[in-house]
Chain A
Amino acid sequence: MFGALRALDDVSIAVNRGTFHGLIGPNGSGKSTLLKAIAGAHFPTTGTIRFHRKDITNWAPYQRARAGLSLKFQITAVLRELSVYDNVLLALQSHESPWSLVLSRTRRRLDSQIMQALDRFRLADRADELAGKLSHGEQQWLEIAMALAPGPKLLLLDEPTGGMSPEERRMTGELLLPVKAECSLVIVEHDLDFIKNICDHLTVLDQGRVLCDGTVREIEESPEIQRVYTSRV
């Protein structure tokens, strides 16, 4: 077992090592809140969050990030005034001591890693441009590249395909599938086809409660889910 979580209104989910776990549900069902509670943006009032057998409920976001939890925000939060390259450098050097950063000890060594990360998300030839100049879809990819660069154990993606064209969505799916070999993933997404294609396990939330939890096939065949999804989305 990878971790277990209780948040919102008696929500309890467990994410297993090496799986892609999808969180779906109508607007306002608490998907993003749950994700933010895992990452540390919200502190839950009750319940616990466990990660690798450690209770991280009261850990600050930077501690969770260092332990291997990586979050991609719903609203793109790339640092717009920095170059695409520097955004990834910033993500990669976060574990270093301030003194080593002042001396720029790893600047050269990280170069190939940065270019690899950018290459993977098809941003290598835009490395020197300002992140703010990228298209919306490209900014989402840059965010994913940043979240993935430090080699997290669990990647949290909040609507990675939000605002993307169908073609961009398809490509995002392709780019994400190989990640399975590296880390587990929790993903919040509206696009059901997208999530069914890449996830192994789904949790359906509705009004802050777990409505249903199981493999993609189990969820697809559940009549209750069909009803909620066809009537409310």
Chain B
Amino acid sequence: MGLIVTPFLLRDRLDLVTLMTNVMILSIFAISFDMCWGFSGIMSFGQALFFGVAGYVIALIGRDLDFSAIWGVLPIAMLTGLALAFVLAMFLLLGRRIPSAIFVALGTLTGSYAAERLVSGWQYVGAGNGLSSIKLLQLGSFEFVEGFEFYTLALLNLLVIYLVCRFIVRSQFGLVLAGMRQNEERLAFLGYRVQVFKALIFSFAGMAAGLAGALYSYHQGFIGPGNMGPGLSTAAVIYCLLGGAGTLIGPVIGTAVIELLSYGLSDIDAIRHFWPVVLGLVLLVIVMFQPSGLLGLVVSDRERIGSFGASGRRSTHG
């Protein structure tokens, strides 16, 4: 609700509407990481790869094909993320044996790093300068400009992604994910092909990250190598851990807290230069003393994991 009334309260502060739009787009990105790590135990340290590549793809389609109709480009961005994640999953997750978390973390991190290096040296995609003046996203003759229009679009996308993820994690499929992150081996002996479930959820998360990347580059009018590198990949990890991994609202809270604080505090001259250090320390404290994130302060593990049986048998115990 808060997100729906926000733009009316902020009528005169376009900068804040833009900031909130950004928070919502990055929240989709953070949720995509949470689907991997928080819900499925896949340590994806390269989530920005799907975000950035999709952002570049739609920027190039706008530049070279002069096309930016929303019904075409957003599905293309999602497919890009999905396909890329699936290809990576074939290498990292679909082996004969269940891969270790470290192997997956390093594999995804390497992918993200390699992609950043590749585009920084590639003239066709703007090399180190990235691609700017991206063609505006269109619906018929209507153009989504920065401000209320884009805010509404981002909000709708966040809601859809949130609801789809919620449907998945509360389904019988979500039960498999919950079991998988507790004991993968046990699930294999129950007859689950754990790798396939991992590849599916990883690909789905790639799709969501791709959507976020496209929205981001349309909103900013810019996409650069940094938007697909380890820096942004790590940001997804931090948003998620701060808010609370394994919940869907946690990554949204984490993203909002970090982005709003960064915005507010970097305006104050006295702490502008120290702010990243302060942020780093706060995050360190949270990871050490509150591993379930900010949301863990109000939600118990039991509620967080939930139950999956027929609706008549919902948990009654705390």
Q: Which residues of A contact B (CB under 8 A)?
A: 39-41, 60-62, 65-66, 71, 73, 77, 79-83, 85-86, 89-91, 93-96, 98, 100-108, 110-111, 114, 127-130, 146, 150
Closest A-chain residue to B186, C-beta based?
A: A77
Are A128 and B315 neighbours in the complex by a CB distance under 8 Å?
yes
- Chain B residues whose CB sits within 8 angstroms of the CB of A95 once the complex forms: 191
Known contacts: A101-B171, A111-B313. The answer to whether A62 contacts B179 by CB under 8 A is no
**Cα(A89)–Cα(B311), bound, Å:** 13
Residue-wise interface mask of B (290-308) relative to A, using a CB-CB cutoff of 8 A (1 in contact, 0 not)? 0000000000011001011
Which one of A96, A98, A103, A111 has the highest number of Cβ atoms from chain B below 10 Å of its Cβ? A98
Contact of A81 among B182, B189, B200, B313 (CB under 8 A): B182
Are B189 and A89 neighbours in the complex by a CB distance under 8 Å?
no
Please list the 8 inter-chain residue pairs (A to B) with the smallest Cβ-Cβ separation, ordered nearest first.
Answer: A65-B191, A94-B191, A101-B173, A101-B172, A102-B173, A61-B188, A104-B171, A111-B310
Are A65 and B171 neighbours in the complex by a CB distance under 8 Å?
no
**Cα(A103)–Cα(B167), bound, Å:** 9
Contact of B315 among A62, A79, A83 (CB under 8 A): A83
Residue-wise interface mask of B (144-185) relative to A, using a CB-CB cutoff of 8 A (1 in contact, 0 not)? 000000000000000000000001100111011011001101
**Cα(A1)–Cα(B190), bound, Å:** 25
Are A65 and B168 neighbours in the complex by a CB distance under 8 Å?
no
Q: A61-B188, A82-B305, A128-B317 are in contact. List 12 more A-B contacts (CB 8 A).
A: A60-B96, A65-B191, A71-B189, A80-B182, A83-B309, A85-B313, A90-B187, A93-B176, A101-B172, A104-B173, A107-B311, A110-B310
Known contacts: A101-B171, A103-B171, A104-B171. The answer to whether A81 contacts B190 by CB under 8 A is no
- Chain A residues whose CB sits within 8 angstroms of the CB of B189 once the complex forms: 39-41, 61-62, 65, 71, 73
Tell me, rounded to whole Å, the shortest Cβ–Cβ distance linking A18 to chain B. Answer: 22
Within 8 A of A (CB), among B171-227: 171-173, 175-176, 178-179, 182-183, 185-194, 196-197, 200
Known contacts: A102-B168, A114-B309. The answer to whether A82 contacts B182 by CB under 8 A is yes
Tell me, rounded to whole Å, the shortest Cβ–Cβ distance linking A196 to chain B. Answer: 28
Known contacts: A77-B186, A82-B182. The answer to whether A62 contacts B308 by CB under 8 A is no
**Cα(A66)–Cα(B192), bound, Å:** 8
Contact of A62 among B182, B192, B313, B317 (CB under 8 A): B192
Contact of B307 among A66, A71, A128 (CB under 8 A): A128
Are A91 and B301 neighbours in the complex by a CB distance under 8 Å?
no
Are B191 and A86 neighbours in the complex by a CB distance under 8 Å?
no
**Cα(A104)–Cα(B73), bound, Å:** 31
Interface size class on chain B is 35 or more
Are A83 and B307 neighbours in the complex by a CB distance under 8 Å?
yes
> CB of B316 within 8 A of chain A?
yes
- Chain B residues whose CB sits within 8 angstroms of the CB of A150 once the complex forms: 190-191
Are A98 and B200 neighbours in the complex by a CB distance under 8 Å?
yes
**Cα(A157)–Cα(B308), bound, Å:** 27
Are A89 and B188 neighbours in the complex by a CB distance under 8 Å?
no
Tell me, rounded to whole Å, the shortest Cβ–Cβ distance linking A152 to chain B. Answer: 10
Which one of B96, B189, B196, B301 has the highest number of Cβ atoms from chain A below 10 Å of its Cβ? B189
Are A98 and B309 neighbours in the complex by a CB distance under 8 Å?
no
**Cα(A30)–Cα(B58), bound, Å:** 60
- Chain A residues whose CB sits within 8 angstroms of the CB of B197 once the complex forms: 98
Tell me, rounded to whole Å, the shortest Cβ–Cβ distance linking B39 to chain A. Answer: 13
**Cα(A111)–Cα(B305), bound, Å:** 20
**Cα(A100)–Cα(B200), bound, Å:** 14
Contact of A90 among B167, B175, B313 (CB under 8 A): B175
Are A62 and B310 neighbours in the complex by a CB distance under 8 Å?
no
Are A90 and B179 neighbours in the complex by a CB distance under 8 Å?
yes
- Chain B residues whose CB sits within 8 angstroms of the CB of A79 once the complex forms: 178-179, 182-183, 186
Are A62 and B183 neighbours in the complex by a CB distance under 8 Å?
no
Closest B-chain residue to A78, C-beta based?
A: B186
**Cα(A80)–Cα(B305), bound, Å:** 11
Residue-wise interface mask of B (252-295) relative to A, using a CB-CB cutoff of 8 A (1 in contact, 0 not)? 00000000000000000000000000000000000000000000
Tell me, rounded to whole Å, the shortest Cβ–Cβ distance linking B198 to chain A. Answer: 11
30 A-B residue contacts at CB 8 Å? A41-B185, A41-B189, A60-B188, A61-B185, A61-B189, A62-B193, A66-B191, A73-B186, A77-B183, A79-B183, A79-B186, A81-B178, A82-B307, A82-B308, A85-B313, A86-B178, A90-B179, A91-B190, A98-B173, A101-B172, A102-B167, A102-B172, A104-B171, A104-B173, A106-B172, A111-B310, A128-B313, A128-B315, A128-B317, A150-B190
